[in-house]
Amino acid sequence: MQIDFGTTNRVIGIDLGTTNSLAAFMDLTGPKIIPGSDGDKLVPSVVSINPRLPNRDREGVGALTSGEIVVGNAARELLLTQPERTVYSVKRLMGRGLEDIQEELKLFPFHIAPGSEAVLQLQLGDRTYTPPEISAFVLRQLKQNAEAYFGEPVTQAVITVPAYFNDAQRQATKDAGRIAGLDVLRLVNEPTAASLAYGLDKRENGIVAVYDLGGGTFDISILKLHDGIFEVLATNGDTHLGGDDIDNLLLRIALEDVQSEWGEDLSRDSEGVQRLRRAVIQAKERLSFVPFTFIELEYHGNKYHREIKRDLFDKLILPIVNRTLGPCRNCIKDAGVTVDQIDEVVMVGGSTRIPLVLSAVENLFRAAPHTELNPDEVVALGAAVQAGILSGEVQDKLLLDVTPLSLGIEIMGGVVSKLIHRNSTIPASATETFTTGVDGQRNVLIHVVQGERELVIDNRSLARFDLKDIDPMPAGFARIEVRFLIDANGILNVTARDVRTGAEHSVDVKPSYGLTDEQVEKMIQDSVEKAEQDFEERQVREARVEADTILAAVEKARRHDAYFELSDEERAAIDKAVNELLLVYHADDHNLIKQKIEQLNQVTHKLAENMMNTAVRGALKGTKI
């Protein structure tokens, strides 16, 4: 079907999903899904490459070109017969390194190219592709579907990402859009997009929880709606939790059954594994509507047939469902609201069709969740609304997103100075002024970190760069202005500037790969559990920095003429105070260090006065009053 709306600067909304992807647009009546040429709205996020065969008419190849990249439904069919040449769930790999994906590699039939630890590359046929390049094939298919539907070029898009995607994963998504020929105007958190689709016309004011359990990720967001403004109060989630985990659980059980019944380890047969995977997924989907079903497989003359009841299914997946509830409780706490204050709960993602998931969410929030919209489509519909906001088709609506983790820089003592705090509304900027710690310092190292802990060593390092050629001044006199700017896509730009000379250095933070799953899940939890310990350690380190400063000043003063104007007793008192401070310097008691610093301050008062008098006499020498 082709519709001609005339030539416009059209912006489409895209849900780039782990399992399926789809695109939508705004028309006069609201957001609409764009169908493909086959009429299907969903494009499976699967990419395959047809083998280069001498016989082009070989059975199974059909009309496909030898060596052709295949996307969507056709690729999903090829997953059965050539799984080693087919990539799926690539969203799990976006912006991540080899060390982050060891668990996935045990389940994926495709291969990682050797020697690519820093830049992950997937082996597809006789070529290698990065995860953004694979995702670009899916985005290109959605782009072509939209262009066929509208009868005009489509070059601009809004793409959704999980709320907990870090900088590297967001950047990888933007790169995929660029490779596909799309100008990505905005990355929008998936729960936020869902709130647009559900809440735009339903409620002008209120608090909404968006529970998004998709194929590969789980997100929970608490949003406040007021006067047409959608503001995210808090986000939480798990970048490694979704329907895929349920599929893999059932698949492992089925593989054990098959090995017991057939005496054959089917896990070594890629095609057999994919056929069995499809069978367990179909059974899982049926169990959302019927009390029992069967997992059935016929393969190489063998038959596997197992009944599975919903109560057994619920027991098996209960730990997975419960893993979503912890982030929900943390998100409610971070938002500063109670369950009773939440007016509506929105369900997003195909896995929310599972009755156990619905009941768990209803029990937690004590309210029946919204399920009116197709959970597979709601994110794309919201992306279309955001696209309409950016293109001007939707008026009087504003979207405010938040950054999920705090951002700051390392300061003296190995502690963190946070410039932009967790759950700050983005786009966001913050500027602070710092100084040098060494006399005559010409360069300053700027170390950018992300996380909630007090010490640099406990947070994630994002970037390091030098601000060079600053004015060589005494310690504490230089003024270094550091500015953090997070754009609408959550990408961080850091600028450091010498206020006196104007020398400046800027960097876009694009780490090579993201956090491990354990780091993502534990980061905020650790910051709460270890808050007291971290704060005490920070106080100790700050006390040591203060001690370093006064010890350096006293050492410098000892070479000054004013020091020798003191009596022997006064100089001895200073020496004693210095030694006592050095003795407690490495103690873990910041109060004791502070006490010795104060003692040293007191016994050096006269020395400071003498130095000041000497400086004044020098300045006034030869001057008449």
Residues with a known catalytic role: 15, 91, 190, 212
CA-based nearest residue to 168, from 218, 123, 119, 107: 119
The span from the CA of 231 to the CA of 21, in Å, is 26
Question: 């105007």: which residue's tokens?
Answer: 185
| Cα dihedral across residues 155, 156, 161, 166: positive or negative | positive
How far is 234 from 402, CA to CA, in rounded Å?
7
Q: How far apart are CA 94 and CA 160, in angstroms?
A: 13
Contact 479, 442 (CB under 8 A): no
373: CB partners within 8 A, 6+ apart: 197, 198, 381
Cβ partners under 8 Å of residue 293, min gap 6: 283, 286, 287, 307, 308
Indicate the residue type of 139: L
Distance separating alpha carbons of residues 336 and 160, to the nearest angstrom: 26
Q: Which residues pair with 99 in a beta bridge?
A: none
Tokens for 140?
A: 């290109």
Phi, psi of 428 (to 5 degrees): -145, 155
The answer to whether the CB of 489 falls within 8 A of the CB of 174 is: yes
Identify the bridge partners of residue 209 per DSSP, sorted by sequence position.
Answer: 222, 345
Residue 460: which residues within 8 A CB-CB, separation 6 or more? 449, 450, 451, 515, 519, 523
Q: For residue 47, what are the β-bridge partners?
A: 71, 87
Question: Of 116, 114, 94, 93, which Cα lies nearest the Cα of 104?
Answer: 93
